[in-house]
Structure 1
Amino acid sequence: MTRQGRDQPSLLVSLGLLAVVSVMLVVPAHGVYTFFIQKEQIIADMNEQARSSLIRLSENVVPYMQAYAVNDYQNLVQTEMVQRGYAAILIEDSNMAEVLGRPEYITGMIRSSDGHILPYDASHPGHHQRLSTDRIHKHSELLQSGGMTIGKLSIFMTDTVVREKQKEVFYDSLSNSLLLALILMALLIVFSKRRILDPLGRFSEALQQRDADGIPVNALPNFKYRELSILTDTVNSMLDMIRGSRAEIKRERSRLHDVIEGTHVGTWEWNIQTGATEFNDRWAEIIGYTLEELSPTSIDTWASFVHPDDLKESEKQLQRHFTGESPYYQCEARMKHKAGHWVWVLDRGKVSKSTEDGEPLMMYGTHQDITEQKENELRLHLAASVYEHVSDGIMITDTQGIIRDVNHAFCRLTGYQAEEVIGENARVLRSGHHDESFYQAMWRAILGKGYWSGEIWNKRKNDEIFPAHLKVNAIRDSDGQVRSFVALLSDISHFKEHERQLEQLAHFDALTGLPNRLVLADRLHKEMAQARRRSEVLAVAFLDLDGFKAVNDQFGHDAGDQLLIIMSERMRQTLRESDTLVRIGGDEFVVLLPDLDDAGSCVPVIQRLLSVASSPIDIKGDRVQVSASIGVTFYPQDEDVDSEQLLRQADQMMYDAKLSGKNRYKLADVVPSSRRFAG
């Protein structure tokens, strides 16, 4: 580099300093300022929200506290929790504490860790622990009436919302800062154009003046900045070297063009007597080398790369050619590639000169890479093997759906022999299970997307219908036209049976076969909706066997299981087809009695259940007798209740029946008077 180049300013340093200074000054300062301003505003807004909720709740809760309406102000608290997302809202009710004779009475709602809103339980350690964390902020307000303090209202807020909004502010600040950075970069681009691109344009113009071989005829100009000056000096030096070796390159190019480009095969010349051998570049390229890497070359070069098994075959074929048995030499052989894998080559040649004694002297030949051809042959062989041995049935049809070929698995799945279906339309497999719209949709997908995959019911030769997974692909030619279809067919009968068994286990009791809790929840919701829609009464009965534990203790659990099985069947037979009997665990059952005109209509059914439950049962020669306590509630009621409340009401009535002496039923007094008893 010249002294002038060393004294010139560095363009790289200038650009780097400008970018670093710009971003470091603007981006952090702007982002930090915006973040802290908006952070304070977020905290102020959250505190104001809590204060607003305290004032609003204080005004609405005090009247309910004076009226001892705990449920009513609980509902107000729950509504505020849902709307505002608080962690908890607690009310210390001095009036209720005085009535109940407690030192304090605290009620309210708390949000669990999974987001559900639950009634607050002061004795629950998890509730107290959740409100004691340093991420919970408390806001309180004394509740007064007539100048007297009657309680305290407390709102607990998590800092999750604050942190989320702070994160949002952070990203907003970051995006704004990035915008400023982009503006600065735009300025940098303008600077770069004037200081870099324009000089490079002059550099490019100098390169446009080239001779017939594409070499610039003039030296490239020098520029102001050091980097560009170094670049032009280097390129000028390289151009001088290129011009000096251009003649030699032309000669080599001509020879390579005649041999390699014309045949695209490797060539070799072998002096059989001396072993001297010459290869071209393509010969070395086939095995991943250059000729320079292989030099000096001889016949041993060939032998060192050939697979030992193939080398023996090569020597055998050479001898056949030397003795005149074969007019030329030809051998397929594996050669070790530089990357470590084997490549297949077709080695061919012929003796062109012999000694005076008739011994072969010079031999010339070609060396062709046939790896892709051998791999295609292997793929075809594997495809044919897979086609015949794969467990899935394969069917090939033309564009009209006429079957052209099937494999052994297809015959095994369908019961047809190949000759029975080849030439027939694929409709021979239709089972009648699907309507025409199913097949129309399938063909739209095949012709539109090129494939279809899904479940289908097909018919075997013996008319047996079976479920299968079918995948159909359209096969197109090089012009994109559909020429045939390939279908893969798998019998999924065992999967369907497994699904059925899983469905049974998921929805029915394994011991009695009765529906379980999952079915109860679904049917109870449906029956409640039907009762509202038809203005009918739904009875929900909770039944618990009396004395069942004694049977287990005296006769064993096997006897207890048999008792449950027999008792379940007896109770089921006493019910109507529209009724539902559910075992919810142990010796507990729930009965749904829909379509009742009034509450009294359920009494005959309940009495039959009591009679059945108290009837003796013979189990392996032992006479066993139990009874039942039944609690019944009804829907709809004057108050709006959900399914869980209905079950709790029925459960409570059942316990009342047990406390009253067992072997009896209790009806909940929850039905409007007009729907209690007919007449």
Structure 2
Amino acid sequence: MNKSSVLDQLTSQKKVMTYGLLLVLTYVITGKLGLMLALPPGYASAIFPPTGIAVAAVFVAGRKLLPAIFLGSLLLNILVGYSDNHQVSITNIEVALLIAAASTLQAFLGGWWLKHKIGYPTSLDNPADVVTFFISAPVICLISASISVGGLFALGLIGQSLFFTSWASWWIGDSLGLIVMLPLTLVVIGRPRSIWKKRFSTVALPMIITFLLLVIIFIVVSRWERKESLVEFDALSNQLSEQLRIRFDSQEAVLKQTSALFNYRVNDTVSRQDFHHFVSTTLDGYPMIYAIEWAPKVNRYERHSFVEQQEKDFTNFEIKQFNLNKELMTAPEKSFYFPIAYIEPLKEATQAILGVDLASLPDRKQTIQNAINEKKVVATPPIKLIIKKGTELGLLLMYPVHSKTQNGILSIILRVDSFFGELFMPVKQSVEVRLIDMQTGKSLYNGFSESNLEASYTREFKFGNRQYRLETAPTALYHQQHRGWQSWNMLVVGLFGTGLMGALLLMGTGYTARIENLVKQKTEELKESFYLFQEITSTLGEGIYVMNTNGMITFANPKAHALLGRSESELLGQNAHLLFHNKHIDKSVYPECECQIRNVIHSKQPYKSVEEIFWHKNGTPIYSSVTSVPLFRDNEIVGAVVVFDDISERKKIEHALRDSEKSFKEIIEYAPIGMAIVSLSGQFNIVNQTLCNIVGYSNPELLKLTFQEITYHEDLSIDLEFVRQLIDGETDSYQMEKRYIRKDKEIVWVQLSVSIFRNEDDAAQYFIAQIEDITERKIRDNEVHQHAYFDTLTKLPNRRMLMDRLSQELSQAERDNRIVALFFLDLDHFKHINDSLGHDVGDLILKEAALRLLSCVRPNDMVSRLGGDEFVILLSEISDANYAKKVAEKVLRKFEEPIDVNGKEVIISASIGIALRTGDVKITFKQLMKNADMAMYESKATGRNRYYFYNLA
């Protein structure tokens, strides 16, 4: 090996390394951009540009760049795994190696196949090569999709339910990446460079602009889809927020209701037995409460007598506190104590804390002081509850008692997991919930996953003298169940259209290049003819021959020889009629053209024909434009000069144009959405099968109709106004949702996009319409509305609709000085029925309760279900309180009737709380709801199966 060959080899290796590094960089960058359009879990994209770049690289350079393709794919997929988890795991590396191997194999086989079928270098401009490429692309891309998705499934990263979706989206993304990116890559590196370089502005730039516009539209539509998908989530979050507020408020009502036990005692104190009977009844209706405790204030002089009194029930009772090791010890001497005297329910876990001085714990002590100072319910910060020798996060609600016989603190103990978990558990699959105590910054309840750290919905509220913030976020399952496919489908169709546009541009530019070469060749021939025969032909470059009065050819220029394929000896002295015949035509019959040319000699008038046929020596037709003029000499006719020009190429162009028109019609016919060409009067001129399927008419039937005849009458005026604006030039296009009347008289909703075509004089010619069937989407939107405003079990209005209606009614009542009544109704012992007979029976009872309530009110009144066994009745306009009383009595009588459940009679009663808005009193709907709720609890406390008016004199 000589020195020159060694240098050439080193230079070649350096070029390969340089191109390889550029390929790795391009692969990673375009891959990251493509994966921005990916579906979860982040591997399959609507378009994956590296596929086309990799196959093009192998198509051009062969297997030398395969290591660069493998390295680029490996780095890209490692970066994807790191972006998801912020660490590189063994699984990430396994996935990256798998996908890199599959991508490299696909690039190798794809490049080899295209080179074998199309050949390289190539201009990729004839229809056969373009069709071969379009058919081969999706077949090639089966390789990576099958290997990669199969591997991900084997590794457990893709579930069985998502296997086909992931495989299909992967395959489509690779196929579109190959169809779109291979021509663009060849514009940069393809050969022959003279052809591909010119295609930057005619092929690459239009495809890039179209692609960018599609991505922008995709992003906008995706954001709209995401917003639409969160409608149900917002409703659930609002519902949780309202339920949480009501649950907190109900605890406050329990404390105040329990304090009445102490406040109404004048001469004697509340005994343990009194406390037990009263609180046990309350706890039946509030299973979420862990315990209710009573801690009287005991000064140091009363300590001994207090302990003696408590020892009557519990031997060795003493006032205690926790030491630093969280162990109980006898409390030291202090000026006063707040020892736990009574606690319900009394069981092993709660009995252990009897005698514990609440004031010995700093957080409890401060809460006690705040409750006494402000004389209202005060909540502790999040605290650790000691339960069965373990700790659990909890919360205490404290309320001061100042009676003639006893002073102290009533407390409700809430276990966070049971109190909030029961509330948030029903929506756990759809909503992640976090409740934060804002003063401490601690989470009372945190159901957020590690991958979902940001809240999509927040609401702050105050309770128990503390500020709380409720944060919610949709779960991955929610996103999966509410995923919209319109944007992704639109992108896929648009990208395929971009690839198809690229193919048409490739064929068009190739055809133009051939025409330019032909024109260039013809021009050179004309120049040569001009210089060689300027005496005869002057500036003409057409075929010329001269015949005498007998039709014999006396002269023919070289161009005529070339066009007719005959030498000088084969033309001179021959009869001109041989030019218009071939061996299959009877020479005794003169074609019309020949007769016209011969007639020039007799008529002495020129003859011109746009298109005539001469015959080549080899028997092929020559399409020509012909001009024949009489030839005079000494004012006598001596013959004729015939000038003819070969227009065969023009005929080919005309055929190509007809083929192009046919392709255009095929594109319209096979478009995935309805398409139509419509006259200015509204008549359908061209329609595709998709549109026929949408409106139910056959193609001939639809062509006999106008768009006005199939448009729903309520939408026609809007549509016609848009049409007027189009014709008047006020707008270039318009979009609208409208209804068509199908042939079977069914209504179908469509998304209509219309533009107008104008000629070079800017005169309107016809409309171009695109029609997409959106009936299913409209139905889905209606279902979302129904779910957002109505209870799914009873079909009654839910809390959201009730709040809207109640706000409106209160505003109207305030203006008109009307009376509004609000019933808060709770089914008695429903939980016992639900637990003993089952939830199916409970659901039947709730439905029957809804029907009975509806039968007790007027049509303009509202019955709503808040959740569980809680119902609300809104009497929007009544004459006085007696009417509300009559309705309540009617409801109670209605519930006296037994309910037939699978042949078994079940009797259930209801407790009703009634709040009124009367006179010129201003009251918010929240306060009115709270008043009715408190009245309902008073009804339960006084024996159930009755009604109670709030603040009724």
Instruction: Normalising by structure 1, report the TM-score.
Output: 0.45
